[in-house]
Amino acid sequence: MSGNPAKSLKMNQADDAARFSIRCNDLSVQFANNFVAVDHVQLDIEAGHISVLIGPSGCGKTTILRLIAGLQTPSTGNVDLRPNSTAGDGQIAFVFQQPSLLPWRTAMENVILPLELLGRGDAKDRHNQAMQTLASVDLADSHDRLPHQLSGGMKMRVSLARALVTEPSVLLLDEPFAALDDMLRSQLGELLLRLWQERLFTTVMVTHNIAEACVMAHQIHVMREGQIEQSIENPLPWPRSETLRRRPEFGDFYGRVGDALRDDA
C-alpha cells in the first residue's frame, strides 16, 4: 500500500458516510475558578485521519478530548462532527491511560459491556462481536481471564477492544500507552496502527512521546497554554510501522517536532 491508506483502501460509500470529520470552532473552557484551560481553539481533523495533540503538562490536551467526546461543556464555541452534527451512541470511543477494567468481569465480559449498555443485538450477537474484537487485539485465547490474570499490555489491549467493540467512527486516546515500557509501547503502537488501517476510525491521540506522535500521526498539533501553537503535517510515508524509526527522514521530522515543542518552552 502506498500513499495515504485512508485514501487508497477500497471503501464503499456507506463506509465513507460512517466516517466523521471533527471541527472545533472557537472552543474555550473556563473553569469555575476562572482558569482558562482551552482558549479559542480552532481545529480541523479530517475524516479517517490520525491527529496527535502534544504539549507541556496542563496545556489543555485532555480537556480538548473531553470536549470532542461531549464530556465537557465549552464556555465558547462548539464541536461540529460531520456528516452528523452529533454522534450517535457508541460512535465515539475513549481510551484512557489506565485500562480501568471491571475487576470482577472477565476480558470478554469487559469487552461486551458497551454492547450491553447500548442494548445492541441479542446475547449471541454480542458474544460474537466481542469475541471478534478480542481476536483483533490477539486476545481470543485469554477471553475468560480476569483482569488480575492479565499483564499491563494485555489489559490495555482489552481496553482497546472494549473501545472498538461498538465499531466507533471516532477514537479518542489519552496517553494510552504512557504507563507501559518502551518495547510494549511500540508493540501497542503497531497494533493500534493495524486496527486503524482495518477500520479507519478518525483518531485523536494525546501523547507526550514525540517518536510515537511521528509514527502515528497525519497531523501533529503542538499546544501551549490552552491554544494550538502549531499544526504540523507529517510527511512520513505510509504504511507506517515502528521500522519507520530507522529511516533518516524520521530523524529529521522528529527534530522538527522537538524544535516546535522547545519553541513553546
Ligand X SMILES: Nc1ncnc2c1ncn2[C@@H]1O[C@H](COP(=O)(O)OP(=O)(O)OP(=O)(O)O)[C@@H](O)[C@H]1O
List of residues contacting ligand X (CB under 6 A): 31, 33, 35, 37, 57-63
Which residue number, 57 or 73, has a Cβ lying nearer to ligand X?
57
Compute the least distance from the CB of residue 184 to ligand X, in Å. 20
Compute the least distance from the CB of residue 61 to ligand X, in Å. 4
Which residue number, 33 or 85, has a Cβ lying nearer to ligand X?
33
Rounded-to-integer distance, Cα 204 and Cα 261, Å: 19
Which residue number, 57 or 85, has a Cβ lying nearer to ligand X?
57
Rounded-to-integer distance, Cα 50 and Cα 59, Å: 20
> Are the C-beta atoms of residues 1 and 9 closer than 8 Å to each other?
yes
Burial class (CB in 10 A: 0-12, 13-18, 19+), 52: buried
Residues in the chain: 265
Which residue number, 6 or 223, has a Cβ lying nearer to ligand X?
223
Compute the least distance from the CB of residue 63 to ligand X, in Å. 3
Helix%, strand%, coil% for the chain, nearest 5: 40, 20, 35
Which residue number, 112 or 220, has a Cβ lying nearer to ligand X?
220
Angle in degrees, CA 226, 46, 250, rounded to 5:
80
Compute the least distance from the CB of residue 62 to ligand X, in Å. 3
Residue type, 99: P
Compute the least distance from the CB of residue 173 to ligand X, in Å. 12
Burial class (CB in 10 A: 0-12, 13-18, 19+), 164: buried
What are residue 51's phi and psi, to 5 degrees?
-110, 140
Which residue number, 11 or 178, has a Cβ lying nearer to ligand X?
178
Q: Which three cell numbers stand for residue 188?
A: 501497542
Compute the least distance from the CB of residue 141 to ligand X, in Å. 34
